[in-house]
Amino acid sequence: MPTENEQLIRSVCPHDCPDTCAMITRVENGRAVKVQGARDVPFTDGVLCAKVSHYLERTYSDQRILHPMRRVGQKGEGRFERISWELALDTIAARFRQVAAHDPRSILPYSYAGTMGLVQRSSMDRRFFHRLGASFLDRTICAEAGYQGYKATIGETIGTDPEAFADAPYILIWGANPVVSNLHLWSRIVEARRKGARVVCIDPVRSLTAEKSDWHLAPLPGTDAALALAIMHVLIRDGLCDEDYIARYTTGYSTLKHRVAGWTPARAAAETGLNAEDIEQLAREYGQEGRPAAIRVNYGLNRCAGGGAAMRAIACLPALTGHWRWACGGILLSTSGTYGSDSQALERPDLYPDNPLFPPRHVNMSTIGDALLDEQSPPIRAIMVYNANPVAVAPDSNKVRAGFAREDLFCVVHELFQTDTADYADILLPATSQLEQWDIHKSYGHLNVMVNQPAIAPLGEARPNTWVFRELARRLGFSEACFSETDEEIGALAFRPDHPHSGNVNMETLREQGWQRLNVPRPHAPFAEGGFPTPSGKCEFYSDTLARRGLDPLPCYIPPREGPRTNPELAKRFPLAFVSPPSRHFLNSSFANLPRFLQAEGRPWLDMHPTDARSRGLKDGDRVRIFNDRGAFHAWVRLDADNPGVRSGVVSAPSIWWQKLSGDGCNANAVTSQALTDMGGGATFYDCLVEVTAAPL
Ligand SMILES: Nc1nc2c(c(=O)[nH]1)N[C@H]1C(S)=C(S)[C@@H](COP(=O)(O)OP(=O)(O)OC[C@H]3O[C@@H](n4cnc5c(=O)[nH]c(N)nc54)[C@H](O)[C@@H]3O)O[C@H]1N2
Ligand SMILES: Nc1nc2c(c(=O)[nH]1)N[C@H]1C(S)=C(S)[C@@H](COP(=O)(O)OP(=O)(O)OC[C@H]3O[C@@H](n4cnc5c(=O)[nH]c(N)nc54)[C@H](O)[C@@H]3O)O[C@H]1N2
Ligand code: SF4
Ligand SMILES: [Mo]
C-alpha cells in the first residue's frame, strides 16, 4: 500500500507501438520513482518492454529540454540561448501572422507519432492549423499504403482479435517482427505454440521472430504480392477454398480465379527468390482443411513500390479459405478501425477558412525533402515540428537536411530532446513527457481504451502540445470555444457515442478503472458471417473503388521500383536490396539518445549474408560504407556464418539512429528514397538498392 506521500497513478505508454501498454507510476513526494506494467489490464498484463520499463531514465534524463530557446548559431549547429515562454510564443505568433498575410498555406505543421494519445497527438494542434488555413500534412510515412490495400479488400482496419492468437493452430507472421515490435502479441503466439500451433514467418531478414518460428521463408523485399498470388493459385487449383464462404461473403471470385491462374509457384519463385516447392507447401499448410490459420501481417511489407497491392493480396487469403469463421482465424493488420474515434470533434476540419483564394493544399510528409527544396506554390516559409523527428526519420535525409537548413525557413520545434531536427529550429520549445500530461488512448494492437493521468508536475518549463497551441490560438485571436477546452474536455469527445463499439466508452469508468474494453465480444470473430465494412458489404476480391481510382481492381503484383526487373542498370551498380527495420532498443528514433539503449544496440550494424560479404572481401566487424546515388552512411558488418542474419542479396541496418550520434553524421535514411507507394502516397524505405564497400575506421 502506498503511504501518505506516495501515490499510484495510471499511465499509458505513449509510444508508436501496437501494444499501448497500461502502466502504473509510483510517485513519492512529487517525484516518479517507478513505472510498472498494470497487472489488472488485460492483454498487456503487467509487462512492459525493455525500453519503457526504464521510462524514468527518459523522463528524468539530463538531456531533457527544460526551457524555451532561440537559435544563436547556424542552422543545424544546435546552439541556443534561453528565452521566456512569452517571448517564444510572441515571436512564433508574429511570424505566423506575417506569413499568413501572404498565404497561410505557406505554414506547414509536421507531426507524427511521438505520442499516440488522442489529445496530445491530434486535437488542439489540428484545430489551430485548420483555423489558420495552413497546408495540410498527409501523414503517410508509416502505414498508409498497407492501410489502403487492406481497406480496399476488407473495408476497415478491423481484424482478428489479438487475444485470439493464443488459440490459433497455425500462425503466419508476414512482414512483422512481433518479438521486437509487438511483444504482447508474441506472448499469445508463444501460448499458441505451447498448445501445438505451427508458426511460420515470412521475412527477408532472419529477425528475432524468424529465428524463433518453426519455419522461416525469406523472400526478396517487395515481392510479397507474388507469393500471395501463388498461394491463391494453389488454394484454388487444389480445391482448398471454402466455396460456401466465398459464395456468401465475397465479390469477384471468378475474375480472381482468372487472375491467379497464371501465378504458378514457379512464376512466384522467380520473383521472390523462394523455392517453388516451398511455396506449394506453404499454400497447402495454410489451406489445410478443418482448421483455421491466423495471419499477423504488418507494415514491414508496405514500405515498397507495391506495398498497397501486397497488403491487398494477402488480405484476400482468409476469405478464400473461410478462416474468418473462427475467432482465431483471419488476418490482423491493426485493430484501429474497431474504435469509433471522432476525428471531426477532435481536430475540427470544419474550421478551415472558406477562402477561394486559398484552396486547401496538401503536403506529403514522406517527401518533405523535396517539398522544402523544390518550387512549390506557395512555397513553405514556416514549419512547426512536434511529435516527430523528420531530419532523422524521413527518407532521403540529405535533401531533408538541406531543406531544413534553408535560411528563409522559419522553423519551430517542440521536443523533449535536442534531436537532429531540433538542431535546425529557430525557436525550440520544451515538451512534457507522458508522466507530465493528460491523455486518452486507443490502440492498434488490442481493443481497450485507456486514460493516462499526469503523475508529476512538468519538469522545468516543459508544456504539453495542447497548451502550446491554446496559447498560439489566443495570440492569433482565435476565439472559437473549442480553443479553450481543457485536455479532459477534449478527451471526452474522443469516441463517437453512437458507434456500436465505442458507445460504451465512459469517462466515469475510465477515471475509476483506468481502462475499458470496447463493446465487442471476447473473443471477437469480426467476419464470421461476413458483414465486411466495404461498399458491397463483402470481402472485395474485385474492387470497384480501386477501378474508379484508375488502379487494378484485382489483387496484383507491382515489383520493387529499385530491382533487377524494373531497373536493371541501377541493379548492376547497386546490387543489394537494403532494409532498415526497427531496432529492439530504439523506438523509431526515440530512446536512441539515451545511454542505456545506445549501449544495448552497440553500434550501427549492417547484417549481411556471408556470401555477399565474401565477394566484397568483408569480414565480421568491418566498418563499411553503404551507398547509392542519393547518399552514403557507415556501419559495422555483422555476419553469422551458421545463421545468416539476412538472405543473400539483402542487407539490413537496424534503425533509426540519430545522425549526430551514429559516428559519421548520417543514418540509414541517407540512402532511402522519396519515391512513393502505389496506394496512399506512402514512403518506400525498404525499396532501395545499395552497394557496400570497406571503409577505413
Ligand atoms: N522496438 C521497437 N518497436 C517498434 C518500433 C521500433 O522502432 N522499435 N517501431 C514501431 C512502429 S512506428 C512501427 S510502424 C512498427 C513496425 O513494426 P513492423 O510492422 O513489424 O514493421 P517493420 O519492423 O518495419 O518490419 C517487420 C519485418 O518486416 C521485414 N520486412 C522488410 N521488408 C519486407 C518485405 O518486403 N516483405 C516482408 N515479408 N518482410 C519485410 C523486416 O525485415 C522486419 O523484420 O513497430 C513499432 N514498434
Ligand atoms: N530508415 C527508416 N526510416 C523510418 C522507418 C524505418 O523502418 N526505416 N520507419 C518509419 C516509421 S514506421 C515511422 S512511424 C516514422 C517515425 O517517425 P516519428 O514519429 O518522427 O518518430 P520518432 O523518431 O520516435 O520521433 C518522435 C519524436 O517526438 C517526440 N515526442 C514524444 N512525445 C512528445 C510530445 O508529447 N510532444 C512533443 N512535442 N514531442 C514529443 C520524441 O521525443 C521524438 O523525438 O519513421 C519512419 N522512418
Ligand atoms: S513501447 Fe510498446 S511494448 Fe514497450 S511499453 Fe510501450 S506499448 Fe508496451
Ligand atoms: Mo510506424
Q: What is the pLDDT of residues 624-654, one digit of tens each?
A: 999 999 999 999 999 998 889 999 999 999 9
Angle between helix axes 124-132 and 465-475 (nearest 10 degrees) is 30
Comma-separated ranges of CATH 3.40.50.740 domains in the chain: 69-140+340-432+452-484
Peptide bond into 523 cis (omega under 30): yes
Ligand nearest to the CA of 181: 1
Side chain identity at 190, as an amino acid letter? V
Q: How far is the CA of 495 from the centre of ligand 3 (A)?
A: 23
Q: How far is the CA of 114 from the centre of ligand 2 (A)?
A: 5
Cα angle: 262, vertex 268, 272; to 5 degrees:
160
pLDDT at 578: 98
- Tens digits of residue pLDDT in 268-291: 999 999 999 999 999 999 999 999
Backbone angles phi, psi at 654, to 5 degrees: -50, 135
Please give the share of the chain, as a percent, with pLDDT higher than 90.
Answer: 97
Cα(619)–Cα(574) distance, integer angstroms: 20
Report the SS3 class of residue 184.
helix
Which residue is it, cell 549474408?
609
Cα(223)–Cα(232) distance, integer angstroms: 15
pLDDT at 477: 98
Comma-separated ranges of CATH 3.40.228.10 domains in the chain: 145-333+527-548
List the CATH code of the domain at 568-694: 2.40.40.20
- Tens digits of residue pLDDT in 573-604: 999 999 999 999 999 999 999 999 999 999 99
Q: How far is the CA of 613 from the centre of ligand 4 (A)?
A: 30
Mutating to test ligand 1, I would choose from 181, 331, 609, 669 the residue with most ligand atoms within 8 A of its C-beta, which is 181
Ligand nearest to the CA of 592: 2
Cα(443)–Cα(334) distance, integer angstroms: 9
Report the SS3 class of residue 157.
coil
Cα(544)–Cα(567) distance, integer angstroms: 31
Backbone angles phi, psi at 315, to 5 degrees: -65, -15
Cα(41)–Cα(436) distance, integer angstroms: 22
- Other C-beta atoms lying within 10 Å of the C-beta of residue 479: 9
List Cα–Cα distances, 428 to 65, 413, 468, in angstroms.
Answer: 9, 5, 12
- Other C-beta atoms lying within 10 Å of the C-beta of residue 206: 21
Among 532, 18, 534, which residue's Cα sits nearest to residue 324?
A: 532
Under 8 Å between Cβ of 171 and 293: yes
Side chain identity at 155, as an amino acid letter? G
Q: Which residues lie with the beta carbon below 6 Å from any ligand 2 atom?
A: 16, 112-115, 120, 141-142, 386-389, 393, 414-417, 419, 431, 465, 580-582, 587-590, 655-656, 668-669, 672, 685
Under 8 Å between Cβ of 214 and 200: yes
Ligand nearest to the CA of 299: 1
pLDDT at 641: 86
Q: Label residue 118 by pLDDT band (50, 70, 90).
A: very high
pLDDT at 480: 98
Cα(644)–Cα(335) distance, integer angstroms: 33
pLDDT at 694: 97
pLDDT at 1: 58
pTM to 2 decimal places: 0.98
Atom of ligand 2 nearest to the CA of 582: 7
Comma-separated ranges of CATH 3.30.200.210 domains in the chain: 6-59
Ligand nearest to the CA of 41: 3
Q: Say yes or no to pLDDT of 4 above 80.
A: no
Q: Label residue 692 by pLDDT band (50, 70, 90).
A: very high
Our answer on whether the CB atom of 577 is closer than 6 Å to any ligand 1 atom is no
Give the DSSP letter string of 434-489. GGGS-EEE--SSSSEEEEE---SPPSTT-B-HHHHHHHHHHHTT---GGGG--HHH
Our answer on whether the CB atom of 144 is closer than 6 Å to any ligand 1 atom is no
Cα(696)–Cα(586) distance, integer angstroms: 27
Look at the domain 69-140+340-432+452-484 and name its fold.
Rossmann fold (3.40.50)
Comma-separated ranges of CATH 2.40.40.20 domains in the chain: 568-694
Class assignment of domain 145-333+527-548? alpha beta
CATH for 6-59, options being 3.30.1340.10, 3.30.200.210, 3.30.360.10, 3.40.50.720: 3.30.200.210
Mutating to test ligand 1, I would choose from 49, 140, 203 the residue with most ligand atoms within 8 A of its C-beta, which is 203
pLDDT at 523: 84
